[in-house]
Amino acid sequence: MTEIMMPWSAHINLDNGLLWHPRRIITRHLSDMADMYRDPDAVKAELESRDPLVYRVDEIEVPQEVGHLLYSVTVIYPGKVGDEFYMTKGHFHVREECAEVYVGLQGRGYLLMQTRDGWCTHLEMQRGTVAYVPPYWAHRTINIGHEPFVFYAIYPAQAGHDYRSIEETGFGMRVVERNGQPVLIPNEQHGG
Ligand SMILES: [Fe+2]
C-alpha cells in the first residue's frame, strides 16, 4: 500500500544558507580529503597546525526512493591549500541517469563537471545562478571568492553518491589562484 507523507516546508536563510528543518549535517575537514589536493606538502603543513572545516552540507531527510526529491544546502568556506581553492570532494551519482539543479545563494564559485570519458567543463556560479547538471556528469564545486560560497541543490532521492570514482581518478582540471584570480589548470595526477 502506498504510504502517504504529509506535506511540509522548511526555511532557508538565503543570505547564509542556514536550513531550519530536521536534517543530516555532513562536514568535511581537510583531513577528510587530504589526498585530493595537488600539493601534499601544503596539506601536511596545514594539518600540522590545524584541520580546517572546508565545507558543510545540510541535507533534509526524506526516503531515498524513486519519486522523492532530496535537497541540501552546501557552504564551502573561503580558503586555499597551497594555491588550490577549497572544494567539495565531488561525485558521480550511483544512478548516473539522475540530474541535479544548483541555485547559487551567496559568494562565488565554480561548478566543475566531468563525464566518464574525461570530458571536463565548468560553469561560474553566484547568487541567483541556476545551474543544471545533466545526467552522467560528475560534479564538484569550488569557492573562488573571499566569503562563503553557498548553494542549494535538489536531485532525485534515489541518485546516491559515488565518491570513489573521483577519489581514484580526480577531475581533469584543478582550480588554483594566479595573480589573485581563479585559473583552471590541467590535473597532472588525473588518472583518466
Ligand atoms: Fe550530486
The string of pLDDT tens digits covering residues 35-49 is 999 999 999 999 999
In angstroms, what is the span from residue 89 Cα to ligand 1's centroid?
A: 11
Give the whole-angstrom CA distance, residue 16 versus residue 19. 9
In angstroms, what is the span from residue 122 Cα to ligand 1's centroid?
A: 15
What pLDDT score does 1 carry? 66
**DSSP label at residue 37:** S
Average pLDDT, whole number, for the chain? 94
In angstroms, what is the span from residue 166 Cα to ligand 1's centroid?
A: 12
Q: pTM of this prediction?
A: 0.95
Give me the residue label for grid cell 583518466. Answer: 192
Give the whole-angstrom CA distance, residue 116 versus residue 128. 29
In angstroms, what is the span from residue 134 Cα to ligand 1's centroid?
A: 10
Mean pLDDT of 158-178: 95
**CA 114 remoteness from chain centre:** 13
Domain residue limits, the chain: 12-186
pLDDT in tens, 56-94: 999 998 999 999 999 999 999 999 999 999 999 999 999
pLDDT in tens, 14-42: 888 888 887 899 999 999 999 999 999 99
In angstroms, what is the span from residue 108 Cα to ligand 1's centroid?
A: 19
pLDDT in tens, 94-144: 999 999 999 999 999 999 999 999 899 999 999 999 999 999 999 999 999
What pLDDT score does 108 carry? 98
Q: CATH says 12-186 is which class?
A: mainly beta
In angstroms, what is the span from residue 102 Cα to ligand 1's centroid?
A: 9
In angstroms, what is the span from residue 159 Cα to ligand 1's centroid?
A: 8
Examine the pLDDT at 9 and tell me if it is beyond 80: yes
Of 138, 142, 184, 186, nearest to 162 by C-alpha is 138
In angstroms, what is the span from residue 114 Cα to ligand 1's centroid?
A: 12
In angstroms, what is the span from residue 41 Cα to ligand 1's centroid?
A: 30
In angstroms, what is the span from residue 31 Cα to ligand 1's centroid?
A: 22
In angstroms, what is the span from residue 93 Cα to ligand 1's centroid?
A: 6
Number of alpha helices (DSSP H) and beta strands (DSSP E) in the chain: 2, 15
In angstroms, what is the span from residue 80 Cα to ligand 1's centroid?
A: 23
